């Protein structure tokens, strides 16, 4: 004999459970989609350049540093010549290095070269009991903005305090191409052309 | 009424299934909540790696014609018979000097150093330098990007013609 009452109870329970399950599934999907939501990116595609240096500038910089420069009849690598900028032969080396860049790598000023030295400092004022910090910049070469000259070569060019948003003076400007650290001197190149068309 | 009450035991498994479903849902929600939802943080390593490999690609394709141009200048005074051999010597020497500056994630300089490149001259005196199977590589966190390509530079005894 079929127990109709037992089956009826089971059917009623099952229907209720199925409806509840469908409802809960719907709630699950809605809540899950909100929890698992991934927000879009907030940066622009150009921000990727933060992670790369300029491939063209880097190529010109590397080839320039590995090139040979003649100073007072003696041939040496550009990287060696730059390392002695703060020594006795500094000015002669700097003029030779800048002339080499002008002649072979600048493409009539399309490519820029910057060579500088930075030194951080902290200055204390005993009267006001305060201190300030900044960066002392010695810009040896800033081609094509300024040519190497003997008047202020080797002399600190500018002092900035820590509050300045940019440590480079307006007339020099930081080149945004590629840079290379040689001991405590930085060599930078911003290049738009590799092979200069004469 | 009594039969209804007595048949309650049969509903227990059904109700337990329902409760089990609720527990599973809760576990899944906890799993979702523990995930990192910041796409910036997730995608930046990929963008960085991709941008670095593009930059290296540009670097190799810029350095090759520069080295060729310099080597042409070095051997300007060589006779046409010796031009190719003198060019090869100068090209390899200059490539080694650039490679010595710092390590780069590419096999371009290694191929030059091992003389694994082709230099062909045609009837019009135009040379074609081909470096095959060059790769550049970038590794950022657990992501790795590799790009393979050929480097081709055409030049004559005076200047680079195309790269």
β partners of residue B143 = B140
Q: Test A195 with B57 for CB contact under 8 angstroms.
A: no
> Structure pTM?
0.75
Give CA–CA dist B45/B141, Å, rounded: 7
> Would you call B146 an interface residue with chain A, using a CB distance cutoff of 8 Å?
no
pLDDT of residue A198 exceeding 50, the answer is: no
Contact list in B for residue A6 (CB cut-off 8 A) is 3, 7, 10
pLDDT the model gives residue A170: 47
Give CA–CA dist B115/A137, Å, rounded: 44
- By Cβ distance, the residue of B11, B14, B35 closest to A36 is B35
Q: Are A140 and A156 in contact (CB under 8 A)?
A: no
The stretch B119-137 carries a mean pLDDT of 94
Q: Which residue of A has its CA nearest to B43?
A: A41
CA A7, chain centre distance (Å): 75
Contact list in A for residue B25 (CB cut-off 8 A) is 24, 28
User: What's chain A's length in residues?
Assistant: 198
pLDDT the model gives residue A121: 74
pLDDT of residue A163 exceeding 70, the answer is: no
Q: Summarize pLDDT for A40-77 with one digit per residue, the tens.
A: 666 555 555 544 558 899 999 999 999 999 998 999 99
Q: Count residue pairs from A and B with Cβ separation < 8 A.
A: 122
Please report which confidence band the pLDDT of residue B58 belongs to, taking 50, 70 and 90 as the band edges: very high
Q: Which tokens is B69 given?
A: 């141009």
Q: Test A28 with B59 for CB contact under 8 angstroms.
A: no
Q: Test A63 with B4 for CB contact under 8 angstroms.
A: no
- Give the relative orientation of helices A55-65 and B80-99 as an angle to the nearest 10 degrees: 110
> First-to-last CA distance in chain A?
107
Contact list in A for residue B39 (CB cut-off 8 A) is 38-41
């Amino acid at each position: 004999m079929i127990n109709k009452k037992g089956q009826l109870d089971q059917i009623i329970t099952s229907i209720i459970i199925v409806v509840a399950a469908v409802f809960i599934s719907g709630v699950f999907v809605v809540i899950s989609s909100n929890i698992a939501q991934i927000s879009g990116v907030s940066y622009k595609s150009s921000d990727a350049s933060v992670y790369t240096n300029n491939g063209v500038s880097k190529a010109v910089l590397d080839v320039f540093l590995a090139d040979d420069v003649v100073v007072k009849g003696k041939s040496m690598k550009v990287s060696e010549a730059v390392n002695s900028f703060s020594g006795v032969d500094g000015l002669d080396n700097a003029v030779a290095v800048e002339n080499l860049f002008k002649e072979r790598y600048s493409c009539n000023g399309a490519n820029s070269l910057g060579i500088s030295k930075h030194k951080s400092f902290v200055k204390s004022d005993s009267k006001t009991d305060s201190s300030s910090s900044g960066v002392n910049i010695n810009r040896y070469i800033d081609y094509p903005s300024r040519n190497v000259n003997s008047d202020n070569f080797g002399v600190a060019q500018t002092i900035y305090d820590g509050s300045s948003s940019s440590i480079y003076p307006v007339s020099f400007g930081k080149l945004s191409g590629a840079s290379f650290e040689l001991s405590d001197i930085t060599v930078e190149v911003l290049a738009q052309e590799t092979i200069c068309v004469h | 009424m009594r039969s209804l009450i007595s048949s309650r035991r049969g509903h227990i498994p059904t109700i337990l299934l329902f409760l089990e479903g609720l527990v599973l849902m809760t576990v899944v929600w906890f799993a979702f909540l523990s995930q990192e939802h910041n796409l910036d943080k997730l995608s930046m390593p990929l963008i960085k790696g991709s941008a670095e490999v593009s930059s290296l690609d540009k670097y190799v394709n810029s350095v090759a014609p520069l080295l060729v141009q310099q080597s042409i200048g070095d051997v300007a005074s060589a006779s046409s018979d010796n031009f190719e051999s003198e060019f090869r010597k100068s090209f390899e020497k200059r490539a080694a000097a650039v490679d010595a500056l710092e390590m780069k994630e590419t096999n371009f300089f290694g191929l030059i150093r091992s003389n694994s490149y082709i230099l062909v001259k045609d009837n019009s005196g135009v040379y074609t330098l081909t470096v095959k199977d060059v790769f550049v590589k970038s590794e950022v966190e657990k992501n790795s990007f590799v790009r393979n390509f050929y480097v081709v530079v055409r030049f004559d005894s005076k200047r680079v013609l195309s790269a």
